[in-house]
Amino acid sequence: MILLVDDDEAIRASLSLLLKQGGYFVQTAAHPDEALAKLAQKEPQLVISDMNFSIETSGEEGLAFLKEVKQRYPQLPVILITAWGSVPLAVEGMKLGAADFINKPWQNEHLLQSVKTVLTLARQKKEDEPTGLSRAALNKKYDFDAIVGEDRGFLHVLETVGKVSATDASILIMGESGTGKEMIAEAVHLNSHRYNKAFVKVNLGGISASLFESEMFGHKRGAFTDAKNDRVGRFELANGGTIFLDEIGDLDANSQVKLLRVLQDRTYEVLGDSKTRTVDVRVICATNRNLEEMVAKGQFREDLYYRINLITVKLPALRERPGDIPLLVNYFIRNLREIYQRPELEASREALRWLRDQPLPGNIRELKNVVERAVLLSPHQELQLEDFKALMRSATQPPAAQQPQIKELPLMPLEEMEKAMIMRAMVLHKENMSKVAQSLGLSRGALYRRLEKYNIPYEATH
């Protein structure tokens, strides 16, 4: 049962009809006092409450009601409904424990989606009990094939990811660089009901403020000087699926406002087109920055912060789960065996033990890079401790100190190294010859001559 609290009879009627059509039983109240009396008779599963019950109180009465509800019924979820101009008031409500807030005029599908998400999360919270977690048990319930790890704390993170994937809750993934935030976002998408729709990745740190609207919402031909063709925006590409907004902490103030509007109302306008469009999308954000600190300093909008983190997932640094390092090394090596046609490749136990104790400030990304470089530079089928030590020294020492270490690198014929680098570049760039040549600092002609020299198969495309 849902208790709907609003002093406007027309809103109570329209919202009641919408919720009943969505399959919910609804009770209504015109005033907080009436709502509290009904709550005392029977506790509902959810309260949906307006913020403003009179002009004189300017929303304070709504906040007072919320405080009273959370004090008496701390586990009862509350969704606030507010006009756009009262969003700061709704943010105060989120701080007091509200589960979500919806703007007037609301978009019906978005409101029903919010109700379903909040009810699902509330049910999961009640059912949450300590479980005998195992990776095998998680793998039976969820698709985590691309994620490596068996650390107990990390398994708790994966369990949370699996549970919230079934909802449409906005998720904020936090963690140091290289901890696998993008892979977690993909896992959320794969385990959601949107798994067969688009998963669109956007690196917000790589989009300039002047191009933000064009990139995110699209533009029509002639919308500005360089708009020679229509462009489809990222939100339109993600419609029906999931949009992953990486590096959201790098977004400038003006772009934050523009992003907030589409996240609030699920509506946007294409540049050069006055038609308002709606979008149905699951939003996942990620950052390695401290957004709470940025909010306190006025560098990140508080209302946007509360909009994007209905659920927060904090990924542990690799040094916090050292037992997973050998698992990751072996996983990377298994993938590299096929790429470099070296089926006997493996890492020695001594090397695995040593890597387990390294700080690896770049986390999984750094570890993967070290393993790939070791495979490229080592002539051994079994990678030895020294293969990794030399690489770690060269990565951590200043340039002047690196020169004496060059002699300590494992010996490998220059031609074999060049062949290995070319093959690696072809894999990374999916045999796009222009990109392969550019990444190696070669002309396309020089690249083709080396491909023929080393008998490397290719298709002369791109």
The tens digit of pLDDT for each residue in 49-81 reads 998 876 555 668 889 999 999 999 999 999 998
Q: What is the mean pLDDT of the chain?
A: 87
Which amino acid is it at 177? S
Taking Cα atoms as reference points, which of 8, 53, 6 lies closest to residue 27? 6
51 vs 5: CA distance, rounded Å: 9
pLDDT of residue 58: 64
Contact 50, 143 (CB under 8 A): no
166 vs 194: CA distance, rounded Å: 9
3-state secondary structure at position 337 = helix
284 vs 260: CA distance, rounded Å: 14
352 vs 6: CA distance, rounded Å: 62
Token pair, residue 88, equals 């700061």
pLDDT of residue 131: 63
The arithmetic mean of pLDDT across residues 313-327, rounded, is 96
> CB neighbours of 7 closer than 8 A, spacing ≥ 6?
30, 31, 50, 53, 54
Which stretch of 142-146, 234-238, 413-417 has the lowest confidence by average pLDDT?
A: 413-417
Radius of gyration of the chain (CA): 27
Token pair, residue 247, equals 């590096």
pLDDT of residue 398: 45
Which stretch of 4-8, 257-261, 448-452 has the lowest confidence by average pLDDT?
A: 448-452
- CB 334: neighbour CB atoms within 10 A? 11
pLDDT tens readout for residues 176-199? 999 999 999 999 999 999 999 999
Which stretch of 131-135, 365-369, 400-404 has the lowest confidence by average pLDDT?
A: 400-404
Confidence bin at 384 (pLDDT 50/70/90): very high
Confidence bin at 401 (pLDDT 50/70/90): very low
Q: Does 408 or 15 have the greater pLDDT score?
A: 15
Q: Is the pLDDT of residue 85 over 80?
A: no
pLDDT of residue 37: 95
pLDDT of residue 437: 81
Alpha helical stretches, state H, 166-279? 181-190, 212-217, 234-238, 253-265
Q: Is the pLDDT of residue 405 over 50?
A: no
pLDDT of residue 169: 93
pLDDT of residue 407: 35
The arithmetic mean of pLDDT across residues 422-440, rounded, is 79
HSE-up (13 A, CA, CB side) for residue 210: 3
The arithmetic mean of pLDDT across residues 381-391, rounded, is 88
Cα distances (Å, whole numbers) of residue 152 to 133, 157, 185, 363:
8, 9, 20, 18
Q: Is the pLDDT of residue 290 over 50?
A: yes
Confidence bin at 264 (pLDDT 50/70/90): confident
Taking Cα atoms as reference points, which of 309, 325, 326, 327 lies closest to residue 317? 325
- pTM of this prediction? 0.81
Taking Cα atoms as reference points, which of 137, 451, 111, 84 lies closest to residue 303? 84
376 vs 125: CA distance, rounded Å: 48
Domains assigned to the chain: 2-127 (3.40.50.2300), 135-316 (3.40.50.300), 319-411 (1.10.8.60), 416-453 (1.10.10)
Confidence bin at 174 (pLDDT 50/70/90): very high
pLDDT of residue 429: 76
pLDDT of residue 433: 82
pLDDT of residue 88: 81
Confidence bin at 399 (pLDDT 50/70/90): very low
pLDDT of residue 445: 75
